[in-house]
A and B are shown apart, each in its own frame.
Chain A
Amino acid sequence: MERKSPAFSVFIHACALLLAAVILAPIAWLFIMSISPAADLAAKPLRWWPQAADFSRYRQLLSTAENSAGAAFTSSLRNSLEIAGMATLAALALAIPAGWAVSRTPAIGWSLSMVIATYMLPPVALAVPLYMGLSHLGLLNNVFGLALVYLTILAPFTTWLMKSGFDSIPREIEAAAMIDGAGLFQTLRIITLPLAAPVMATSALFAVLLAWDEFFYALLFTSDQRAKTLTVAIADLAGGRVSDYGLIATAGVLAALPPVLIGLVMQRALISGLTSGGVKG
């Protein structure tokens, strides 16, 4: 094996420290801003570390008192949860049968390529008719309408992931169950779907992350607390005349918390999903 010189080892550790600093500094700063008193953030020279940690902004944003900053934030939090949940469930309901069908019937594989090709479409290519259509149906500024639109993003992606998941479950297991007298739906229920549970979980998490992250359609199709999502609420805060930057940072920390936790816990599954999905495309 290669013998590493001490100088090389020092160099590697220095690079690792640099990389850690690059990754962590912006995130740490977001959190520090959220707990620094407003005076510290406006001080010159800037105070990098708060004299006393101040968590009051978290209480402020999570309060539901009427007409407060908290009311707008908590309603957008609820909308994001509802929309991500509904869109994810609907996407999986479409993706599981379709993914299985494509996996077991290579003859219709081209139809999946068509569905995946839509993933390349820029959202702007659909935005105007979707806006007019939602407006016609009375679904503008409505959580159901936005969840429906999110299927344009979630459904192709989850179908793709589910198909590669079913590919890794041998057809012979299904065939054996059928020979033992199980019907198709019984086989799927008892054999295939339990084996596909991890892939379903990964697909669901990806779908939630995609929906949680979405901004363009939410910006276009929502206008007030009835349907505005977190991403729009945060963009409003960032672009508005909020004088307390710590409050904007706090909203950012709260919105980032769920996906960051999912990312850390599910790291391995997410990366294998990303690489397999990417390579098999």
Chain B
Amino acid sequence: MSGTWMTTRAWLLMLPLFVVMVAVIGWPLVDTVSLSFTDAKLVGTGGNFVGFDNYTNMLSSSNFSRTLVTTTLFAVISVAAEMVIGVLAALLLNQEFRGRAVLRALMILPWALPTVVNATLWRLIYNPEYGALNAALTQLHLIDAYRSWLGEPGTALAALIVADCWKNFPLVALIALAALQAVPRDITAASLVDGAGPFNRFRFVILPYLAGPLMVALVLRTIEAFKVFDIIWVMTRGGPANSTRTLSILVYQEAFSFQRAGSGASLALIVTLLVTVLAVAYAALVRKTAGSAA
């Protein structure tokens, strides 16, 4: 069978996927680009060409810079916490103890819980009048009066980060555990004979095995956290006083609440560009760790 026919056949088999991808991703993306140079409204026709006005207005607005800071804070803190807690949990789950199989199985629960259900659950836990957190802290005499955890700008973002971490650290733990189980036993045994302490053993013997999978998890989680919408929309809608408003929430408000499609499109593309930079850094990092760990 000739190579040309093989390639042609492969393209024919790819064709349905390509047609659909162009229709639901390619065309909308191109259209977003062209909208971003207009003052189009969400409903109604047309809109006038305005050049880079949307971009310059957006980039110079205090809304944008504040939202960028909020998004970065959310992404960096929640992903860092998920990584640290996830690896610690994986090291624990790799030890021998009674009930280990059950605990490993339970780790899938937060991951499997739909994002919106998780957000709703934590919203109920943080409820200012009847929430379990207020009740527990009061009954333990840690606070005197019920607080509005999601209603105060000082605590809302932290409360969201806790809820996001709880859902996502178990996945990091499961990925890290799978990597830990791939560490050959004779290597850890040899390092013991050589007198390596627990910290050095983790740093020099175990961590190289974890680095690749963890790097992938780290960057995929960072990109996801940067795009975050669902959990914030359900728990705070970006409030109070916009203290939890992330970039995706700002795009939603601009394009759909205020119906400014053109300006919303320009902001969406700025977000896309930031995510692309993260993704390219991802590819480079993964290649580098894969090279050094092998």
Contact = CB atoms under 8 A, between A and B. Distances in A.
Contact of B125 (A26, A41, A115): A26
A155 B125 contact: no
B114 A151 contact: no
Contacts of B241: none
Interface string A29-71: 1100100000001101110100000000000000000000000
> Dominant SS at the B interface?
helix
Interface in A113-137: 115, 117-118, 120-133
Interface in B78-120: 89, 92-93, 95-100, 103, 105-117, 119-120
A263 B115 contact: no
A264 B112 CA distance: 9
Contact of A278 (B113, B170, B216): B216
B252 interface: yes
Contacts of A264: 105, 108-109, 112
B106, B112, B216, B276, most chain A CB atoms within 10 A: B112
A234 B227 CA distance: 21
Nearest to A152: B24
B92 A19 contact: yes
A239 B120 CA distance: 9
B211 to A, nearest CB: 12
Nearest to B229: A216
Interface stretch (B15-23, B51-59, B152-160): B15-23
Contacts of A129: 27-29, 31-32, 35
Contacts of B271: 122, 124-125
A81 interface: no
Contacts, number: 278
A30 B166 CA distance: 14
Contacts of B230: 215-216, 231
Contact of B10 (A13, A105, A267): A105
A120 B278 CA distance: 10
A231 B116 contact: yes
A126 B28 contact: yes
Contacts of A237: 120
A120 B24 CA distance: 15
A111 B230 CA distance: 30
B161 interface: no
A10 to B, nearest CB: 10
Size band of the interface chain A makes with B: 35 or more
Contact of A122 (B11, B17, B100, B248): B248
B25 interface: yes
A46 B108 CA distance: 29
Interface residues of B, number: 98
Contact of A9 (B13, B97, B103): B97
A159 B17 contact: yes
Contacts of A45: 135, 138-139
Contact of B265 (A30, A105, A128): A128
Interface of A: 1-2, 4, 9, 12-13, 15-16, 19-20, 22-24, 26-27, 29-30, 33, 41-42, 44-46, 48, 93-95, 97-98, 100-102, 104-105, 107-108, 111, 115, 117-118, 120-133, 148-149, 151-152, 155-156, 159, 184, 209, 212-213, 215-216, 219-220, 230-231, 234-235, 237-239, 245, 248-249, 252, 255-256, 259-260, 262-264, 267, 270-272, 274-275, 278-279, 281
Q: 7 nearest interchain CB pairs?
A: A263-B112, A46-B135, A129-B31, A105-B10, A101-B13, A129-B28, A101-B10
30 contacts: A15-B92, A16-B100, A16-B103, A20-B106, A22-B166, A26-B122, A27-B110, A27-B121, A42-B130, A98-B13, A98-B16, A105-B6, A105-B7, A120-B276, A128-B35, A128-B42, A129-B28, A151-B24, A152-B25, A155-B20, A209-B112, A213-B114, A235-B119, A249-B121, A249-B124, A259-B114, A271-B175, A271-B178, A275-B213, A279-B216
Interface of B: 3, 6-7, 9-11, 13-14, 16-18, 20-21, 24-25, 27-29, 31-32, 35, 42, 89, 92-93, 95-100, 103, 105-117, 119-125, 127, 129-130, 132, 135, 138-139, 166, 170-171, 174-175, 178-179, 189, 192, 212-213, 216-217, 220, 223, 227, 229-230, 233-234, 237, 247-248, 251-252, 255-256, 261, 264-265, 267-269, 271-272, 275-276, 279, 286
